[in-house]
Amino acid sequence: MATALPNHAQLVEFGQKHVTKGLGRQVEAVITKGKGSYVELGDGRELLDFTSGIGVTNLGHCHPRVSAAAAEQCMNLVHGQCSIGFTKPYLELIEKLLPMMPHPSLDSFYFWNSGSEAVEGAIKMARTFTGRQNIICMQGGYHGRTFGAMAVTKSKTVYSAGFNPLMPGVFSIPFPYWHQLSRPKDTPTEELSAYCLNQLSLLLSQQTTPKDTAAIIIESVVGEGGYVPIPTEFMKGLRDTCDQHGIMLIIDEVQSGFGRTGKNFAIEYSGVKPDIMTIAKGLANGFPLSGIVSRKELTDKLTPGSMGGTYAGSAVSCAAGVEVANVFKEEKILDNVNARSVELLAALNTLASKPEVKGAILDVRGRGLMVAVEFASPKGTGPYDPFVNRSVPEKLASRVAKRCLEKGLLILTTSVYEVIRFIPPLNITKEDLAKGCKIFAEAVEEIVREG
């Protein structure tokens, strides 16, 4: 018989022993409670949370209306399998999402559990719709850890190292990110985009002919690759290429969707129409739910039974998603995102301009409350990284994140570069945002000073 685990230290020790090592953790602690912009740990610490469960709890932890909607659904129907019949929350969620879509042609929905699964389904759909097999993705892009999603993920080798062979038929091109292209930060995005679009043309001439290419997949804001917004001219160039050759354009809004960038979906900044769009994370504020959205004229080509999954479109998660949509509208979430975004970017740019940290911060970027700070590095990614600065401390991003944790702020790094990402709740108060920015600034100044 298992013995009781009465205290926090024992729980942590038990987890370290029995939870698969393949999971990484930001903090060796048990998260016992979340409320709004804060989480509580079993050792008594309360942390201001600028991670939102990696962009999931967009309305803060345990939003009372969302949690109540899920609880009520639990007392009516927990599991109504999608291959057996409709559930009311599933259909209600579609009704709520239709007017939020970035283009009216997006009118056919399939709900699944995770972002990775949504990407898998999008790839299946693209191959079916076109009768072609190859997929083009972005260098630095992230789409998940299941096999198809892992194959089109190019942000870090840790996600796929040792798991080959991956799904075949995948090709990648660079996206318009100055550091990755070894260009100065002030290089016009038109120039960066033109270079990358030329690389796409070469790829279609040299490696995968258009008649073999099913889709191009891209995040509207590259997430694990460094929180880099994609320039409008690049998105339009991708759209033009897809239209010219009958290729599907898959827009991954798993992390950038649902208000994270100040619009319902980040693709709205470019005005480009997706053929297929993947959604997840903020869709149900912590309840497992993702979606694949496309045009009915395309999805009508699918054979019944080709899509499915035991827990796909959970009635409880869909009920939570319905209330998320209601809260977005009634509590004016997008207004708060845009107001707080101005304050966040101003605070970070002020920090970057301080003489004592100047040179340590290479870039402040982002949209809405999907924002990043990129630090300089004395080593970079290798001997040919042109932005090496030997006068700055090593591992700035991870050291700053650790110092923030010590000061009561939970924040995450991202990408192969020295980048920290800001993903606070979209309804965070002015006061809590300022508190987090103050902690971050103190941490940066201290680590730079320590060297």
pLDDT at 52: 97
pLDDT at 338 over 80: yes
Q: Which of the 8 DSSP states describes residue 99?
A: G
> Does the fold of domain 77-330 match that of domain 8-63+332-450?
no
358: confidence class by pLDDT, cuts 50, 70, 90: confident
Overall fold of domain 8-63+332-450: Aspartate Aminotransferase, domain 1 (3.90.1150)
Q: What is the mean pLDDT of residues 78-107?
A: 97
What interhelical angle do 232-245 and 189-206 show, nearest 10?
Answer: 20
Q: How far apart are CA 214 and CA 216, in angstroms?
A: 7
Q: Is the pLDDT of residue 128 over 70?
A: yes
Question: CA 348 → CA 15, 180, 238, 333, distances in Å?
Answer: 36, 22, 32, 22
Q: What is the mean pLDDT of residues 60-80?
A: 97
Confidence of residue 430 (pLDDT cuts 50, 70, 90): very high
Tell me what the mean pLDDT of segment 193-197 comes to. Answer: 98
CA 410/CA 133 separation, integer angstroms: 41
State whether the Cα torsion 100-101-105-108 is positive or negative: negative
Provide, rounded to the nearest whole percent, the portion of the chain with pLDDT above 90: 97
Q: How many residues appear in the chain?
A: 451
Summarize the confidence of residues 77-84 as an average pLDDT. Answer: 95
Average pLDDT of the residues in 328-338:
97
Largest CA distance in the chain: 66
* Contact in structure between 375 and 418 (CB atoms under 8 Å): yes
Nearest to 317 by CA among 284, 273, 281: 284
| pLDDT given at position 4 | 54
Instruction: Tell me which residue of 183, 155, 186, 150 sits closest to 168, measured CA to CA.
Output: 150
Average pLDDT over residues 423-429: 98
Cα torsion through 204, 246, 141, 54, rounded to 10: 180
Domain formed by 77-330, architecture: 3-Layer(aba) Sandwich (3.40)
Alpha-carbon distance of 44 to 32, in angstroms, equals: 9
pLDDT of residue 1: 38
3-class secondary structure, 406? helix
Calculate mean pLDDT across residues 234-249: 98
Tokens standing for 268? 């709205």
Q: Check whether 261 has a pLDDT greater than 50.
A: yes
- Return the DSSP state at 410: E
Which residues does 92 contact at the CB level (< 8 Å), separation at least 6? Answer: 318, 319, 322
* Percentage of residues in the chain having pLDDT higher than 70: 99
Q: For residues 241 and 208, give the distance between their C-alpha atoms in angstroms, rounded to a whole number.
A: 14
Domain boundaries, the chain: 8-63+332-450, 77-330
What pLDDT is stored for residue 84 in this prediction?
Answer: 95
In terms of phi and psi (left: phi > 0; alpha: psi -120 to 50; beta: otherwise), the region of 55 is left
Query: Does 3 have pLDDT greater than 80?
Result: no
Confidence (pLDDT) at 251: 98
At 279 the pLDDT is 98
Residue 5, pLDDT score: 55
Predicted confidence (pLDDT) at residue 2 exceeds the cutoff of 60: no
Around Cβ 269, how many Cβ atoms within 10 Å? Answer: 21
